[in-house]
Each structure stands twice: as C-alpha cells, then as structure tokens.
C-alpha cells in the first residue's frame, strides 16, 4: 500500500513537472498559455443549463471552459463576467469534474490567472481606446468651436451688405498699422470715399437699388486695393480705405481707379410706381491723406481721419466726382 502511494505521488510530481512547470516558463514569453486539459466536460451534460439565453450554449461550444464565458448560464441563471463568477465557478460541479486531480486544478487555475491578466489588459486597452476616441471627439468639437468663434468674430467686424469691415473695426486696424508705420518709419495713407447724391438715388429708385450700389462699391474697392489694404464701411454711403506702405501719390492712383470704375458702371433700375427699367449711373468723391512718422513723432488717428474728411469736403465743394489730396 505504501509503495502504491509512493508511486501515485511520484506520478503526480512527474505530471506537475511535465505539464505545469513548463507553463510558467512559457508564460514569460507568451500571453496565451492554455493548459491542455483532456478532462474538460460539457457543462450542459453536468447541469441543467440548456438555455437559449446562455451565450455558451447558444454558440454550441463543446468542451470549453464555461467559467470563462461572459453571460453563461449556470442552472438557467445568468452568471455575468469571469471576474464576477470566478469564485463560485471553482466550486461548481463542472469545474470539479474537469479537474479530477490536483494537476488539472493547478493547470486550470493557472489558465484562469492568464485569462484574467489578458482580460484586464483588453479592458485597459479598450479603455485607452475609448479615452482616445473621446479625446479625438473633444478635439473635433474644440476645432468646430474655434471655427465658429472665428466666424462670429468675422461677423462682428464685417458689414453684411458690402462685406467690408465695419466702422468699429477701423480704430483697431489704424492703431496696429500706425504702430507699424512708426516702428519702421514707413508711410501710411487713408482714403475717404462718399457716393455723390446717394440719398436722391435712394429716393428715386428705392432702397434695393441703393443696396445694389453699396454692394457694388464694396466689390469695386476690394478689386482695386491690395490684400494688405483694409476697407471699411464708415457710414451710410461713406467708406474708408487704409493703405499701408503708401504715400499720397500711390493713394491718389488707387483712388482714381475707384472713381473711374464707379463712374463707368451703370445700374439697371426702375423708378417708384413705374415698371419701366432704365440704366442709371453715379459718381464718388474721394478725400486722400498720407503721413510718415519720423523718430518720436506721433500719428493721431483722429487727425488722420479728419484730414481725409477735409479733403473729401473739398471734393464735394468742387461738385463731386473728383479725388482731392490733403496738403
């Protein structure tokens, strides 16, 4: 009897050495180290768990480890995840029948440890992916918000009808351009444009025709100025154009292009209470000023605008349709 016990113990130790100990070595380099258990049984043959709600039974799996299957049923009762049921499953008849000796039990428990580590890694990886997805979504939302903010900022400083900048933005631009002018001792010019007889045109042909004229001059000014020039709707039919790096002569050339372009254009209109269309034209008067900043000399915005206004009044006094330089 003693010899039989010694033989059984020897066989057990031999199996542990042959079947279990190598798994620990393999586990260092391989995250999937299943213990080959030839005693695995089908849970549905041991317990009354043939339920269509059981993920294990519905998949028609054979002799597999039901204790590792998510939402497997045990006696018709759903068990949840591996981590929720692992303790109870190890005392289950299915597990015990699958582990007739300590070798199978150690092997299966080692399998469970490896399975748990892999599952945790998968959950962490999934969580990291979820965090990355949320981060991408947040970045997309932030970019959309930034784009909307830029659009709102543009709308706040833009005249809707002419698509030029509005009067509120003029001071900001002049402050920046004058500071640059003073820093580098460069010239800056300013034009003030006014549509001659605009109110009469509005009264005769209506506000829609007047809006078309205002829209046209906005386009005309943009087409005849450089990308770094800035144009503003200053009042109803008055416009201001800031021309960095320009002296009086350069500004006068630009103003003449605008004046002639407006004079040579015609507008298809019809008078109030009339269905007859006709072509109407208009003219503009333009006042121009320019300045340099030498050394510590300061340029005052109000003075620059006032000079352009005075030149514009002189153009009006001459009958309009003329460009006058402030000198």
Query: Which residues form the catalytic set?
Result: 237
- b/e map of 300-315 (b: 16 or more CB within 10 Å)? eeeebbebbbebbeeb
Question: Are 256 and 323 within 8 A, CB to CB?
Answer: yes
Phi, psi of 203 (to 5 degrees): -65, -35
Whether residue 191 contacts residue 241, with contact meaning beta carbons closer than 8 Å, is answered with yes
Residues 6+ apart with CB under 8 A from 217: 162, 193, 195, 239, 262, 284
Report the alpha-carbon distance of residue 214 to residue 203 in Å, rounded.
15
- What is the bridge-based pairing of β-strands 284-291 and 323-325? parallel
Token pair for residue 173?
């631009």
**In 179-228, where do the E strands start and end?**
188-195
Burial of 274 (0-12, 13-18, 19+ CB in 10 A): exposed
* Residues ≥6 apart with Cβ < 8 Å to 326: 287, 288, 289, 307, 308, 310, 311
**d(C-alpha 264, C-alpha 245), whole Å:** 28
Instruction: Report the SS3 class of residue 269.
Output: strand
Copy the structure tokens of residue 32: 């999937």
The tally of CA atoms less than 13 A away on the side-chain side of residue 249 is 0
């Amino acid at each position: 009897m003693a010899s039989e016990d010694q033989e059984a113990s020897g066989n057990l130790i031999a199996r542990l050495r042959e079947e279990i100990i190598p798994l620990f070595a393999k586990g260092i380099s391989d995250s999937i180290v299943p213990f080959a258990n030839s005693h695995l049984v089908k849970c549905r043959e041991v317990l009354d768990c043939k339920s269509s709600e059981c993920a294990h039974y519905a998949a028609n799996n054979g002799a597999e480890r039901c204790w590792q299957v998510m939402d497997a049923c045990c006696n018709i009762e759903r068990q949840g995840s591996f981590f929720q049921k692992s303790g109870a499953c190890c005392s289950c008849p299915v597990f015990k029948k699958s582990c007739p000796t300590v070798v199978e039990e150690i092997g299966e428990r080692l399998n469970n440890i490896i399975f748990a580590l892999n599952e945790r890694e998968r959950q962490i990886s999934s969580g990291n992916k979820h965090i990355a997805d949320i981060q991408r979504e947040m970045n997309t939302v932030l970019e959309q918000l930034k784009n909307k903010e830029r659009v709102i900022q543009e709308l706040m400083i833009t005249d809707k009808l002419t698509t030029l900048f509005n009067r509120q933005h003029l001071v900001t631009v002049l402050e920046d351009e004058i500071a640059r002018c003073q820093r580098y001792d460069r010239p800056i010019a300013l034009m003030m444009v006014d549509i001659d007889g605009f109110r009469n045109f509005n009264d005769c042909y209506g506000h829609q025709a007047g809006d078309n004229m205002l829209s046209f001059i906005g386009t005309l000014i943009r087409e005849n100025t450089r990308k770094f020039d800035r144009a503003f709707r200053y009042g109803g039919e008055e416009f201001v154009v800031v021309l960095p790096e320009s002296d009086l002569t350069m500004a006068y050339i630009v103003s003449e292009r605008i004046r002639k372009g407006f004079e040579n254009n015609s507008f298809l209109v019809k008078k109030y209470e009339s269905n007859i269309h006709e072509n109407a034209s208009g003219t503009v008067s333009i006042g121009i000023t320019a300045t340099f900043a030498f050394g510590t000399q300061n340029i005052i915005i109000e003075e620059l605008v006032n000079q352009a206004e005075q030149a514009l009044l002189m153009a009006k006094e001459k009958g309009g349709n003329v460009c006058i330089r402030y000198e």
